[in-house]
Amino acid sequence: MKRDPIQPLLQAGVYILFAGTAVFFLGWLFFNIFNLLLGSILSVLAAALVGNFLCLRIFEDKGFEALGMPLNRGGAYNTATGLGLGFGAAALVLLALLLTGQVHEVRAVVSAAAPAANWREQLFVPFLLLLGAVAEEILFRGFGFQVLLREFGVLPAILPVGLLFGLAHGPNPHATWLAFANTAGFGVLFCYAFVRSHDIWFPIGLHYGWNLMLLLFGADISGIKIRITGYEIVWNTTPLWSGGDYGPEGSVLTTGVLVLLALAIWKVRLVRQQAYVVDVVGQADAGQSAVGQKEES
């Protein structure tokens, strides 16, 4: 029995419609109440929750338990593994520049417009980055991606979703073509991370580990300046190597590290989980197809 390719595309389209509508209306609200960083994070989180909740209810009659985020030891292990790889990848970029003298740390300039961070901000901002990583991974590695992965396979699923991930960061300050390419590359890798672990915890760990290391070094993160350590990075090299005001994610060094990170994701030992949309529904559909073929014969 042939499977209808239109149905999963429609489901993914409905998911994008729900999430996009939530971003449009709730994003306007959050941006008017909060600052740029908090407003963007909350709008993405709202879109992720609304899109996944409605689509899981409508198409699978399930709740968030089917999203691919089981609260078990495997999830904790995969998260920690992702954190380690994300930390290591960001450190590789920054340490290469520090050791070659292409960058150095200085005390951040304190002024009335940019006061020094207090201890509350030093605790709250890393939590915000975690919330942002969770929000983006639920949005981009949630129902829509999992439906495409189940129906069309790895490459047809991860390439367009990775491209969308890059496009979503296009409006960020100081974005360049290289920054877009690297960000889309991260989107592809985070999708592949889900393919390897079959949970969203592993890509969350990768995403947060990378961002947190940049934060601790005082580097810009996707064009956004966040200073909580009292130090910031000063570059002694061209934007091609530094990423300019977009941060290291816009540098050619990050392009090379993405290749190494892809190899690490491919080889690292993980706990394979069960994602309902990909595994359980996929197995049920395969069983129905086998019955249909038997009846036709």
- Per-residue pLDDT at 97 exceeds 90: no
pLDDT at res. 292: 43
pLDDT tens digits along 168-193:
988 888 889 999 999 999 999 999 99
- Per-residue pLDDT at 3 exceeds 70: no
pLDDT tens digits along 34-45:
877 788 889 999
Predicted confidence band at 116 (pLDDT cuts at 50, 70, 90)?
low
pLDDT tens digits along 4-48:
778 889 999 999 999 999 988 887 788 788 877 788 889 999 999
Q: Which residues contact 30 (CB under 8 A, 6 or more apart)?
A: 38, 39, 40, 42, 43, 46
pLDDT tens digits along 200-210:
999 999 999 99
Model's pTM, two decimal places?
0.89
Q: Per mean pLDDT, which range of 56-70, 121-135, 140-154, 181-195 is the poorest?
A: 121-135
Distance CA 145, CA 161 (A): 7
pLDDT at res. 24: 85
Distance CA 245, CA 101 (A): 19
Helix, strand, coil share (%) of the chain residues, nearest 5: 70, 5, 25
- Per-residue pLDDT at 244 exceeds 90: no
Q: Which residues contact 286 (CB under 8 A, 6 or more apart)?
A: none
DSSP 3-state assignment of 268? coil
Pairing of strands 231-235, 103-107: antiparallel
> Which residue ranges make up each domain of the chain?
70-296
